[in-house]
Structures are given as C-alpha cells and as structure tokens.
A = this chain, B = another copy of it.
Amino acid sequence: MDLNDTPEQAAFRTNVRSWLEDNKADAPAASGDSGDTAWIDSRRAWQDKLAEAGLAGLTWPKEFGGQGLGPIEQVIVNQEIASAHVPGILDVIGIGMLGPCIIAHGTDEQKSRYLGPMLHGDEVWCQLFSEPAAGSDLAAVQTRAIENEDGSYAITGQKVWTTNAQFSSYGLILARTSPDKHKHKGLTMFIVPMEGEGITIRGLRQISGEAEFNEVFFDDFVVPAENVVGGVDNGWGTALTVLMYERLTIGLGSEGFGYRSDRFAEAVGQDEAAKSDPEVRQRLGDLAAELLAVRFTSYRTLTALSKGQIPGPESGLAKVTTVNAAIAAGELIADVVGPEALDEDSEWAYMISFLPGLKSAGGTEAILRNTIGERVLGLPPEPRLDKGIPFSELRAKEKEAVSA
C-alpha cells in the first residue's frame, strides 16, 4: 500500500511541475464566465500550450498526438495543475471522451481531420446524446436522421444538457436512423458542425440563473454520409464507448467540483458557536467521512486502472456519495450561517442551487442503483416492458397510456 510515486513517476511529476512553474504566468484565470469569449479564447490558447508541452491527451496514442501514457500520469498532471492554481484543458469532454471514441470507431479520414485541432483547442467538441425524453433511458432518443437521395442525412430533433455547445466547433450526435427497429438497434452516431442552417443553440438556465448547459435544436440539418462514426445503425455501441470514457474521466477527477471535507470544515469553523456544537460536529463529521472516502475510492480506482482494469458501474457510487455529501454540507453551512448564506453572491447559495441539478446529471440515482444491483451484485433484473418492441410502437404505446 503506497500513495507515493515510483521513481519514474516522481521524475515525470518534477518535469510537469517545473514546466508549470515556468509557464504559469501565461495561464488564464482558473475560473470565469463561460459566456465570456475573451476568457474562452485564453483557455483555448492555454490548452494549445499544454498540448505542445505534452500535457494534454496523455493517454491518447502517440500517432494521434498523444503521449501514450497511463492513467497515473494523467492524474499526476491533474494534481500538478491543481496545485499550480492554473486551469487545465478547456475541452475535457472532447479529449477525455469524444476523441477516444473517434480513435476507437472513426475512419482514418476522421482521425486525421479532427483529432489534431481537438487536442490543441482549435476546435472544441460537445456531446449531443441526451434529449428531453431520453435521459436515463438514453437509447430512447427521438432525434431523426433521414437519409437523402444523395446519401447525406437530414437531422431533426432536440438535444439537451449540452455542455460547451455555445463555443463548440463540432459535436458527436446520437440520432435515430431506423425507427422500426428495436430502440438500441436503430441509432447512428454522426459528427456535426455546430453552425450552419438548421441548428439553433440556446442556453439552459439552472436554479442559480446561470446557463450551465444548452439546448440544441436541429431542423433538417444536413450532414454528409462521411460523418457517420462507427457505422449506420451501430450508434448504441459507439455511444457505449463514450460512456465508458466518461466514467473513466470522472473516476480520475473526483474532487473536481471542490467538494472537499477541509473546505467545508473551514466554512463551518468560522463560526465559534458552531465549532463546539455537538450536533454541527456530528453532521460535519459524517459528511467529511463520506468525502474522505471518495478521495480514497479514487485512489483505489486508479490502482485498478494502472493494472489495466476498466472501472465498472460501481464507480458511479462515488458520484452519489459526493453529491449527497455536498448537499448535506450546503444544508449545514446555511444552517450555521443562516439566511445570509443564501445571498445570491455567496458561494454557498451557488452550491445549494447547483446541486439539485447535478443529482440527476449523467443518469438518476435510481437507474445507477439498478445497474449496480444487477451487474455488480447479480440481483435479478426488473421486468422490462420495452424488450424487443420496435421503437415506433413503443412511442405509440406511451402516448396511448398517458391519454388514457
């Protein structure tokens, strides 16, 4: 049992640290408004600089501009970037999830066209999977892609919860090509440019009032056949690759939201009365234990990754723990501080407003617990009423049931 670097890792860390030391004067502010074009541009430039220094796409193969390194090195870079108080790469979604998917399923042309600009921040990417009626049940996407006579596709539908859409150049979209097949069997993945006729991007405001996500509307938006990734009607398999990398990215950056026990203890500890109140201490102790556990869970995940194991669905439990512990922390801090903690300018008001949305982001807790209960513990599945039914029929049935 060892949390220390091997000599090779220590040497790598030293290099990263000294590069950051030498270059951090060029880094933009670590946080900013995603609507601020100047800040976003400075983040792009910084990503380019990181990529040039070999500090972006660490786990990508060398032939695509990556470093061919392992998850431990990725974590070392993450840790050093955090210690240096500089931002990391802008396009976490592209480099962490979508790039690897293109590497796995894309054509040679796609790889050579898209991966380089993605890595350097010249073209930011977004993920166009979720829809208003396809959240936890992602395979229920209704966005249609209809083949034109010239072989191109016309895409029509609505995507939602799209991070970074407002400044992305490209997106990876999951759309239905064959509605008469079973819902998993009629989907196709496409690369779509994020501008042109037939695409509308609209910010989606959260409880806090900030637009953390976007809605993206497609109306007969035409993409050429060469933009298909992973084969027509094979989109579900392609999407699973993205989801696997999403799990991996989350597994490597668990404390990314800043939900740390020491930070919450500091907030509570600023009130002398709270510091010696047994009830406050009990609540703080409980949530701190949860967050400390998540930190060591991420080290366990990393150990497994470094032995070549892929994290299973149980890694999603860390997200459940984090969100619920942070909710408990928000309640506690606001109980201690009082209504003043709910001032719109307070970091705690922001956190309290942000967390309810985070709770169902990436799939509800209920779906996650189903998956873990069945795949990890081997518990029997729930009856599935949508099994083997063509998607179009399924939709008709739902409409009928609601109107009944």
Q: Tell me if A279 is interfacial: C-beta within 8 Å of chain B.
A: yes
Q: How far is the CB of A99 from chain B (nearest CB, A)?
A: 41
CA distance A279 to B276 in the complex (A): 11
Which A278-294 residues sit within 8 Å CB-CB of chain B?
278-282
CA distance A380 to B380 in the complex (A): 22
When distances are taken between beta carbons in the complex, the residues of chain B under 8 Å from A7 are: none
Contact of A282 among B279, B281, B383, B385 (CB under 8 A): B279
Consensus secondary structure, chain A interface? helix
Q: In this complex, what residue of B is CB-closest to A280?
A: B278
When distances are taken between beta carbons in the complex, the residues of chain B under 8 Å from A383 are: 383, 385
Q: Tell me if A277 is interfacial: C-beta within 8 Å of chain B.
A: yes
CA distance A401 to B280 in the complex (A): 49
CA distance A383 to B277 in the complex (A): 49
Report the interface size for chain A: residues with CB under 8 A from the other chain.
Answer: 10
CA distance A277 to B277 in the complex (A): 8
Q: How far is the CB of A208 from chain B (nearest CB, A)?
A: 30
Q: In this complex, what residue of B is CB-closest to A276?
A: B278
CA distance A278 to B380 in the complex (A): 44
Interface string of A268-311 (1 = CB under 8 A from B): 00000000011111100000000000000000000000000000
CA distance A280 to B401 in the complex (A): 49
Which A123-148 residues sit within 8 Å CB-CB of chain B?
none
Query: In the complex, which of the residues A277, A278, A281, A383 has the most CB atoms of chain B within 10 Å of its own CB atom?
Result: A278
Which A365-396 residues sit within 8 Å CB-CB of chain B?
380, 383, 385
Q: How far is the CB of A137 from chain B (nearest CB, A)?
A: 16
Q: In this complex, what residue of B is CB-closest to A281?
A: B279
CA distance A281 to B277 in the complex (A): 12
When distances are taken between beta carbons in the complex, the residues of chain B under 8 Å from A401 are: 380
Which A154-188 residues sit within 8 Å CB-CB of chain B?
none
CA distance A255 to B334 in the complex (A): 37
When distances are taken between beta carbons in the complex, the residues of chain B under 8 Å from A279 are: 278-279, 281-282
When distances are taken between beta carbons in the complex, the residues of chain B under 8 Å from A282 are: 279
When distances are taken between beta carbons in the complex, the residues of chain B under 8 Å from A278 are: 277-280
CA distance A278 to B278 in the complex (A): 6
A-B contact pairs, 10 of them (CB 8 A): A277-B278, A278-B278, A278-B279, A278-B280, A279-B279, A279-B281, A279-B282, A380-B401, A383-B383, A383-B385
A277-B278, A278-B279, A279-B279 are known; give 7 further A-B pairs, CB within 8 A. Answer: A278-B278, A278-B280, A279-B281, A279-B282, A380-B401, A383-B383, A383-B385
- A-side interface residues toward B, CB under 8 Å? 277-282, 380, 383, 385, 401
